[in-house]
Amino acid sequence: MNDATPDPLTDIRREIDRIDEAMHRLLMERGAVIDRLIAIKRTSQTGSAFRPGREADMMRRIADRHEGRLPLATAEHLWRTIIATFTHVQAPFTLHVEQGPEALAMHDLARFHVGFDVPLEGHAIPGRVVEAVRASTGDLGLVRLEPQPAGAWWDALGGEGPQVMARLPFLPAEGHPASTPALVIARPLGPGSTSEVSVWAVHDDGDLHLGSKVEILAGVTRNGVRNRLVAVPGAEAPAPNALPLGGYAQPAAAR
């Protein structure tokens, strides 16, 4: 090939460089916009910049427009990393991760969602995650959704303390690289943080029938008392004695 012959590979690489530069410049521009957001959001009031409802809208839009060769999970991971990094830029936080029997999968789940700028702290049991979030100003927690755990860790949620804020995976798909079911917990995030699905603790002696819309996330029975962590669309209590423990945006249907 002499100098006059166009080289298609060079042309394509030039195109890739143009796209990479545009993406990098846009990310830097995003950083400048976040600087303006910090000034108006007053995150210092709650200690956390995390807004799970907003993130759910953003992830849904990514999933809706996604097409082509790039796997959706890669786009999801890139944006989760961008969003978590900018959350951390606004107000530094640690992600407390339950690392019991599925420690490696939980570590993957955490890194998939927050990248590497957010520090992780591992805890052997879910109760320790809840304690660590309670003792912090704006830390988040990640607890694996085990249907029959050793103890009712959710008893420590609710009130002014940590609550359920998000459910993972949010964009489930066959072969997804971070598909361990888990709940994200945080201390209350202030007004305006409504959720599509509410989460409750329901105690009964074994014969309470919950409606068909109620999903049992986990349950423990001790001394004849059944203690179930349940989720229900909307905000209405699933049973008269149900205790509110937060809520989350409805994850997408599996692709």
Ligand X SMILES: O=C(O)C(=O)C[C@]1(C(=O)O)C=C[C@@H](O)C=C1
Please give the residue ranges that form the binding site for ligand X (CB under 6 A): 37, 41, 49-51, 54-55, 83, 86-87, 90
CB of 168 to ligand X, least distance (A): 14
Sheet containing strand 243-248, strands side by side: 120-123, 95-98, 140-144, 182-186, 163-168, 243-248, 197-204, 225-233, 215-222
Q: Which residues pair with 40 in a beta bridge?
A: none
The nearer residue to ligand X, 81 or 180, going by C-beta atoms, is 81
Q: Are 90 and 47 spatial neighbours (Cβ–Cβ below 8 Å)?
A: no
Q: Which residue is nearest to ligand X (CB)?
A: 86
Q: Which is nearer to ligand X, 83 or 109 (CB)?
A: 83
Residue 90 Cβ, how far from ligand X at the closest point, in Å?
A: 6
Nearer to ligand X, 140 or 232 (CB): 140
Task: Output the smallest distance, CB 83 to ligand X, in A.
Answer: 4
**Backbone phi, psi, residue 5, to 5°:** -80, 125
Q: Which is nearer to ligand X, 56 or 143 (CB)?
A: 56
Q: Is 128 left (phi over 0), alpha (psi -120 to 50) or beta?
A: alpha
Nearest approach, Cβ of residue 38 and ligand X (Å): 8
